[in-house]
Amino acid sequence: MNPLIDTVQTPFNTPAFSQIKNEHFEPAIKELISRAKSEIAEINTSSDAPTFANTVEALEKSGKALDRASSIFFNLNSAETNDEMQAIAKIISPLLTEFSNDILLDEVLFQKVKTVFEETDRNLLNGEQTTLLDKTYKGFVRNGALLNEAQKTQLRAIDVKLANLSLEFGEHVLAETNKYKLVITDQQDLDGLPEFAIEQAAQDAIDKGEDGKWVITLDYPSYVPFMTYASNRKLRKELSIAFGSKSSKGDELDNQEIIKEIVNLKNQRAQLLGYATHAHFVLEERMAESPEKVMDFLNEIEKFGLNAAKEDIKEVEAFAKKLDAIDQLNRWDFGYYSEKLKKEKFSIDDEMLKPYFKLENVIDGVFLTAQKLYGLQFKRNQAIEVYHPDVTAYEVTNEQGEHTAIFYADFFPRAGKRAGAWMTQFAGQSKDEQGNHRPLVSIVCNFTKPGKSKPSLLTFNEVTTLFHEFGHALHGMLSNVQYESLSGPSVYWDFVELPSQIFENWCYEKECLDLFAKHYETGETIPELLIQKIKESANFLEGYQTMRQLGFGKLDMAWHGQDNSKITDVSAFERNVLGKTEVLPFIEGTNMSCSFSHIFQGGYSAGYYSYKWAEVLDADAFEYFKEHGIFNKEIADKFKKYVLSAGGSEHPMVLYKKFRGQAPDVKALLRRAGLIDAQSV
Q: How far apart are the first and last CA of the chain?
A: 64
Dist. CA 294–CA 77, nearest whole Å: 32
**368 Cβ neighbours under 8 A, 6+ residues apart:** 515, 516
Indicate if 469 belongs to the active site: yes
Phi-psi region of 462 (alpha: psi -120 to 50; beta: other; left: phi over 0): alpha
Single out the catalytic residue among 60, 315, 469, 504.
Answer: 469
**161 Cβ neighbours under 8 A, 6+ residues apart:** 261, 265
- The count of residues in the chain is 681
Dihedrals φ, ψ of 425, to 5°?
-135, 140
| CA neighbor of 644 nearest in space, from 507, 446, 461, 441 | 441
Give the long-range contacts of residues 641-644, CB within 8 A, separation 24 or more.
643/475, 643/498, 643/499, 644/374, 644/474, 644/475, 644/478, 644/479, 644/499
- Output the CA–CA distances (angstroms, integers) from residue 235 to 61, 216, 231, 589, 612, in the order listed: 55, 10, 9, 16, 33
Q: Express the helix, strand and coil content of the chain in percent, nearest 5 each.
A: 60, 5, 35
CA angle 491–92–27, rounded 5-degree value: 115
**373 Cβ neighbours under 8 A, 6+ residues apart:** 631, 636, 639, 640
Tally: H helices and E strands in the chain: 27, 9
- Output the CA–CA distances (angstroms, integers) from residue 95 to 390, 493, 596, in the order listed: 32, 25, 26
Dist. CA 310–CA 583, nearest whole Å: 6
- In this structure, the strands spanning 440-444 and 403-410 are parallel
- Residues paired with 444 in a beta bridge: 410, 422
Query: In three state form, how does the secondary structure of 493-536 look?
Result: CCCCCHHHHHHHHHHHCHHHHCCCCECCCCCCECCHHHHHHHHH
CA angle 145–274–604, rounded 5-degree value: 90
The answer to whether the CB of 405 falls within 8 A of the CB of 438 is: yes
Give the long-range contacts of residues 370-379, CB within 8 A, separation 24 or more.
370/470, 370/474, 372/515, 372/631, 373/631, 373/636, 373/639, 373/640, 374/398, 374/474, 374/478, 374/636, 374/640, 374/644, 375/399, 376/404, 376/477, 376/478, 377/401, 378/407
- Residues paired with 395 in a beta bridge: 379, 406
Helix (H) or strand (E) run with residue 394 in it: strand 392-397
How would you list the strands of the sheet with 403-410, edge to edge? 377-380, 392-397, 403-410, 440-444, 422-427
Helix (H, G, I), strand (E, B) or coil at 395: strand
Return the DSSP state at 605: T
Q: Which active-site residues does the annotation give? A: 469
